[in-house]
Amino acid sequence: MANPLAAGAAFLDASGAVVAADAGFRALLGLGDGDPRAALLARAEEDPALRALLAGEGPASVAVPGAGGGPVQVERIPGDGGALLVARVAALGDALEHAMRSDALGRVANGVSHDIRNPLNAMALQIALLGEKISASPEASAAAAVHLAALRDQVNRVNSVLRRFVDVAEPGAPLGYTDVGALVADVAALLGHEGRRRRIELAVDAPSGALRTACDPERVARLVLGLVARALAETPDGGRLAVRAEPDGTGIAIRIEHAAGAPEAGAGYYRGAAAAGAMRLGGALAEERRNGVARTTLALPRNEA
């Protein structure tokens, strides 16, 4: 399976001849290690869309069969001295869209939190004032105490959900590190409703404060959220999903284990994107399916400071 994040480039002179092509471009189009000009012209003879692209005619971007059989998007970017050809696996467009959605999600989360927390704080203040006024009448105070306590509990509950949502969607690291245990617990809590709806036992073992990483907090949060959500989606109804965060040598390991149900559509893309994301963080992703059990391990560098 081709790397869903693979890309490459080639340069054309003003006459349309290939001046240079990098290894990624050659690999995606199956040009081999020989003369890239001759190999690309040979490919173009078999593909009218690619031939038109090289000549500067037709659309500026076309999809052609790649070396592995999957579609490869080739884009022509003209310049004064020729043109730049950029080739990328078609799934890279999906990856970029997911990245944009993740960025937008963080911005929406920040706005939603602000717009909901302000009324909640006002409600909490009014409940406190109402409690003080009712306390002047012992009978009324006793009658209303249970109801006021229930209201306070619900306000606190919504505040807690909002706090988790914001911490996962747009996390910060003011002290220079991310608390991995707290992050895993928040992710599991946000997905708890889905688990209860499908009668899935969601077991979490993630000590807060003991596991810290200096990795980019937004990337860590997106990666953990994506891995746990995917595992939950693949767990059969009535099954069990276990998520554990623990020290692993000089690093941190997040271990996800569940019954190996049917993989989601596009699981190959998510696996490649997650593995690439883990590598960018200085970690690694390992997955295996054995004896009906799926296990995923995300390794992250640990920050002891």
Tens digits of per-residue pLDDT, 61-106?
787 887 766 778 888 888 777 888 888 775 555 555 555 555 555 5
Are 254 and 220 in contact by the 8 Å Cβ rule? The answer is: no
Question: CA-to-CA distance for 65 and 215, rounded, in angstroms?
Answer: 37
The pTM assigned to this predicted structure is 0.57
* Section 6-17 average pLDDT: 79
pLDDT score at 240: 94
The better pLDDT of the pair 280, 2 is held by 280
Are 89 and 70 in contact by the 8 Å Cβ rule? The answer is: yes
Are 220 and 213 in contact by the 8 Å Cβ rule? The answer is: yes
pLDDT score at 238: 93
The better pLDDT of the pair 287, 151 is held by 287
How far is Cα of residue 267 from the mean position of the Cα atoms in its chain? 13
* Section 36-41 average pLDDT: 81
pLDDT score at 20: 82
State how far the alpha carbon of 221 is from the alpha carbons of 83, 170, 239, 286, in Å.
39, 8, 25, 18
SS3 assignment, position 172: coil
The better pLDDT of the pair 143, 190 is held by 190
> Which residues on adjacent β-strands are paired with residue 203?
242
Q: Which secondary structure element, helix H or strand E, spans residue 87, and what is its range?
A: strand 82-89
Are 187 and 225 in contact by the 8 Å Cβ rule? The answer is: yes
pLDDT category of residue 1 using cuts at 50, 70 and 90 = very low
Q: Which of 12-26, 115-129, 266-280 has the lowest mean pLDDT?
A: 266-280
Question: CA-to-CA distance for 38 and 268, rounded, in angstroms?
Answer: 34
pLDDT at 4 over 50: no
> pLDDT tens for residues 179-212?
999 999 988 888 888 888 899 999 999 988 889 9
